[in-house]
Copies of this chain bind each other. A is one copy, B any other.
Amino acid sequence: MLRLGPLVVTGRLLPVGPAGGRVSLSRSRSWLSRPTGPVGDRGLFYRQVRAAAGSAGGGSRCLALKTPKGTRDHPPAHVALRDRLLAAVVACFKRHGAAAIDTPVLELRETLTGKYGEGARLIYELQDQGGELLALRYDLTVPFARYLAMNKITNMKRYHVAKVYRRDNPATTRGRYREFYQCDFDIAGQFDPMIPDAECLKIVHEILSDLQLGDFLIKVNDRRILNGVFAVCNIPESKFITTCSTVDKLDKMPWEEVRREMVGEKGLSPEAADRIGEYVQLHGGLDLIERLLQDPKLSQNKLAKEGLGDMKLLFEYLTLFGIAGKISFDLSLARGLDYYTGVIFEAVLLQQENDHVEEPVSVGSVAGGGRYDGLVGMFDPKGRKVPCVGVSIGIERIFSILEQRVKAEMLYKKDPKLLKQLQYCEDMGIPFAAIVGEQELTDGVVKLRDVAMRQEVDIPREKLVDEIRRRLEP
């Protein structure tokens, strides 16, 4: 009798080597010579998950042997997966007529100064080694605006895929790093209202659909509407931007906490905060836009009226594009960056309820963007404005999700009891166990066990990966 160490498949990408992105489950060469005694009711084999050269792991025995906080190396399998992701994103950008540019990772500090609001404290600065004062780029939008102004370009559709740097508090399990890729698509130039803005949303919709990340929602708002709301709630104009950044936390905090920050930290009156609360908790579609256009206070505010009119027009285009179903006009969306002037948006994945997955991947937004009509003018010596709208795809967060999709592990015991292993699966919320014994080997199948349901079914070996993927799909 041989003993079987069941293969436990959960959804984590193994750090495999050059083969690239594949969960590679091969039998140890020595398995035939290692029968391990009479336990259990079927023959069992040791199995080995091949960790090819290039696999991560290791760790830092020596203090210095690490990458900087919030950064990571990418072994070949990561690079292969990331390249496939980037290729899909770039293909979409090109389909929409954009051309690639590249700008330096380094910018003059003064190029970045005064563009990001509260984010500015997260900018990496370079040591003054004589010469210019430099910093690492914080995003690709400000360098693009600098590029447009410097080259006097008033009309351009460009994409840029590159790394940006933020001294943020890293949350690497959620795909938040200090060095990360951004994939930006932007349209610069004067066009009929809302058409470029609608194209940006179409692009987000296409990419998130293409990548099959499950259900998603694109929240849309407009800085002019927010400003209008603040104005009719009697917030002094000097507090608009800082109030924006508090409102933006509504997706992570309950209203009560946001209200507390408004009153406590930002110094709004409780009454003003309550009035804001009535607006910023609203979300909906065309109906909500129509309602707000009739709102006795908002309809009297010029900016809000403009924003709502454009929002209505935007929804008409989105309906024509057939994507309005995934778009939500959401007054709580504010976006953190100072430079937005009009439409803003953010795409979030809708998490499936799944109690069996031990660490649900909460990645927050996977795309965001908006209109920034004033940024180029900040760089132009004569202040000439170039209206711009753009979107940034958070490829790193998407990567974290895909990384969790097919991960596998096994118990590192030389004599693993089957029941013990299945118990481990149940404890850890591992959804499937793949079991291979003598009978399965003879039949060329793998027994796939649904751990929660305690149901087993034989799957032909060559169909195993597809079957697991199918079952793991949201």
Which A residues contact B (CB, under 8 angstroms)? Answer: 17-18, 20, 53-62, 64-69, 71-76, 78-80, 82-83, 97-108, 110-111, 124-129, 131-132, 134, 136, 146-147, 149-153, 155-158, 163, 165, 167, 178-179, 379-381
Contacts and interface: CB of A to CB of B under 8 A. Distances in A.
A153 B51 CA distance: 11
Given A68-B134, A79-B102, A124-B129, A158 B54 contact: yes
Contacts of A156: 53-54
A348 to B, nearest CB: 27
Contact of A101 (B57, B58, B73): B73
Count the copies: 2
Given A58-B150, A64-B111, 7 more contacts: A53-B153, A61-B381, A67-B104, A69-B131, A79-B99, A105-B165, A124-B134
A57 B65 CA distance: 44
18 contacts: A54-B99, A56-B151, A57-B151, A57-B152, A64-B111, A65-B149, A67-B104, A71-B104, A71-B106, A73-B103, A73-B104, A74-B101, A74-B103, A80-B99, A80-B100, A106-B178, A124-B129, A127-B127
Given A147-B73, A152-B58, A65 B99 contact: no
B102 A78 contact: yes
A108 B126 CA distance: 14
Contacts of A76: 99-101, 158
Contacts of A150: 58-60, 65-66, 73
A100 B79 contact: yes
A110 B153 contact: no
A65 B150 CA distance: 6
Contact of A68 (B57, B132, B147, B158): B132
B61 A74 contact: no
Nearest to A72: B104
Query: SS class of chain A's interface: helix, strand, loop or mixed?
Result: loop
Interface centre among A82, A110, A150 (most CB of B within 10 A): A150
A165 to B, nearest CB: 8
A104 B61 contact: no
A28 B231 CA distance: 51
A428 B79 CA distance: 47
A469 B105 CA distance: 34
A392 to B, nearest CB: 18
Given A101-B74, A124-B126, A107 B67 contact: yes
B151 A103 contact: no
Contacts of A134: 68, 124
A129 B64 contact: no
A82 B68 CA distance: 29
A104 B64 contact: no
Question: Which 5 A-B pairs rank lowest in CB-CB distance, beginning with the nearest?
Answer: A18-B99, A76-B99, A71-B104, A58-B151, A74-B102
Given A18-B99, A151-B57, A151-B58, A69 B105 contact: no
Interface centre among A153, A157, A379 (most CB of B within 10 A): A153
A12 to B, nearest CB: 18
Interface centre among A105, A125, A179 (most CB of B within 10 A): A105
Contacts of A56: 151
